[in-house]
Amino acid sequence: MKKNSVYRVVGESVSDQGYGITHIDGQTVFVKNLLPDEEADIKIIKATKSYGVAIVQKRISTSKDRVEPVCTQAGKCGGCSFLHMNYSSELNFKHDELNHLFDQVDPSIDVKPVLGMENPWNYRNKAQFPIRIKDGKIVSGFYRPHTNEIAPIDHCPIQAVMINEVFAWIIENLPLRDARGLRHLYIREAKTKQMQVVFIGEQENDLKDFARLLQKQFPQIVSVVFNKNTRKDNVILSDEYEILLGKDTITEDCLGLKIELHFKSFYQINPVQMEVLYSKALELANLSKEDHVIELYSGTGTIGLLAARSAGKVTGVEIVPEAVANANENRKANHIENAQFICMDASEFAAKNKNAADVVFVDPPRKGMTTQGIHDICLLEPRRIVYISCNPRTLARDLKDFMNNGYSCKLIQPVDMFAHTTGIECVALIEKTNEPRLLNNKTDE
């Protein structure tokens, strides 16, 4: 197999990154925009000793699962990997991938069918658009895969309708002088319809007048912020900011909870599926009024505050000060007396509070838990752990560590929070068995 060679192949499966998979002379080849059972002529664009990457030059036959992408930037912006596949097939694919992954951990784990969306469009409540000036014009959109080059867009079919409208208006009306030095444009919309806009850049450029014009055009915008970021890495938000209009939060609603949401605080990007996700997590937790619940990586405290309705006591632990302040404000606003939120590293907290929990909720970042963090959670000796994960691979890795510490995973409920992308959220029910199982912690990639 050589670069620029052309081969006729048949798609065999799909990778977890959305590439079609086929084989040439025993080597795996990842093919962009190829579905299983499709025959196509492909051109090799990258050839290594172990695998190849290819593009479709000519499609000979078409899968029954193929649909025409609704986005003009499909395959270009690096966001949606499954716009060419019908949604029911996408959900089946994600379920098959999860079954294969968790079967390597423990074949007895019950991986439930993926809970999909009735309408898998315009679901995202937050967007972060890179912004540049090129040839005297403002260019904004999303990054092309594996580059810092922007694929310009005028709207995105998975972003909320109003986010698209606000974005388009800003790009059309923002004066060039005010755009100089900007890096990103951040827009968030709540279920309450309140909106927030954050300009992120190296210099503020006196955006207050433009902020007033923006609110006049879109009265639902109650927060406009400038976040100064001079860092030389890929971190989008920094600590230094100025409120240009209104406040630095918007009011959100989740299952009847009033949430005051700071622009730096983590919040699930799909409000419809978030309620599905959290309802399932609470169902699996099976709480009683005698239970002490500990929520690690608690963010704005949403899960903990929801759990407080059924539990005796809730303690939330979060390392981001703004999120902890948010959580405590949300506790007061919802008149919840049996919850508290503290600012501390989750592992440090767990090590200092042995035997303290009946049920633990954990919703870590994509990198998952550390081995020490898992050990510390086990020191809390909860009878039940509800692990919410946005990365199935790190969940699979972490489940092995929990099993080595006397716990077992009964079931996993996938929730499709990220329709048309390769992402999937999972809720895992982990229960104490007192019988550690020494497992090899390697999970096949």
Average of per-residue pLDDT values in the chain: 93
Per residue in 58-74, pLDDT (tens digit) is 999 999 999 999 998 88
149 annotated as a binding-site residue? no
Q: What is the pLDDT of residue 362?
A: 94
Instruction: Find the mean pLDDT for residues 245-255.
Output: 96
Does residue 390 carry a catalytic annotation?
Answer: yes
Residues 6 or more apart in contact with residue 111 via CB below 8 angstroms: 95, 98, 99, 102, 411, 412, 414
pLDDT attached to residue 319: 87
Name every residue whose Cβ is closer than 8 Å to that of residue 290 and which is 6 or more positions away in sequence. Answer: 312, 358
Structure pTM? 0.91
Higher pLDDT, 43 or 234: 43
Question: Using CA atoms, how far apart are residues 36 and 381, in angstroms rounded to an integer?
Answer: 46
The percentage of residues in the chain with a pLDDT greater than 90, rounded to a whole number, is: 81
* 109-135 pLDDT per residue, tens: 999 999 999 999 999 999 999 999 999
- Neighbour count for residue 306 (Cβ, 10 Å): 27
Asked if residue 177 has pLDDT above 60, the reply is yes
Q: What is the mean pLDDT of residues 308-337?
A: 93
- Is 97 part of any known ligand binding site? no
297 annotated as belonging to a binding site for a ligand: yes
Is-contact 412 427, C-beta < 8 A? yes
Higher pLDDT among residues 434 and 389, named by residue: 389
The pLDDT confidence band at residue 445, using thresholds 50, 70 and 90, is: very low
Kindly report which listed range (13-17, 298-302, 353-357) carries the lowest average pLDDT score: 353-357
Rounded to whole angstroms, the Cα distance separating 101 from 36 reads: 19
Rounded distance, CA 435 to CA 156, Å? Answer: 49
Q: Decide if 215 contacts 183 (C-beta within 8 A).
A: no
Average pLDDT value for residue range 268-276: 97
pLDDT digits (tens, 9 = 90+) for 183-217: 999 999 999 999 999 999 998 788 999 999 999 99
pLDDT at position 35: 97
Average pLDDT over every residue of 135-155: 91
Q: Using the predicted structure, report yes or no on whether residue 108 has a pLDDT greater than 60.
A: yes
pLDDT of 285 strictly over 80: yes
Q: In terms of Cα–Cα distance, which of 439, 329, 437, 441 is closest to 395?
A: 441
Give the residue, 260 or 338, on which the prediction is more confident. Answer: 338
Domains and their CATH numbers in the chain: 6-59 (2.40.50.140), 92-118+270-432 (3.40.50.150), 126-254 (2.40.50.1070)
Evaluate if residue 354 carries a pLDDT over 90: no
pLDDT at residue 297, as a whole number: 85
77, 378, 390, 426: which one is catalytic? 390
User: Is 268 annotated in some ligand binding site?
Assistant: yes
Mode of pairing for the β-strands spanning 292-296 and 359-362: parallel
Distance between CA atoms of 369 and 363, rounded to whole angstroms?
9
Q: What is the pLDDT of residue 93?
A: 95
Q: How far apart are CA 92 and CA 35, in angstroms?
A: 14
Q: What is the mean pLDDT of residues 45-65?
A: 96
pLDDT, residue 36, reads 96
What is the mean predicted confidence (pLDDT) over 385-413? 96
Q: Give the number of other Cβ atoms within 10 Å of residue 388's Cβ.
A: 22
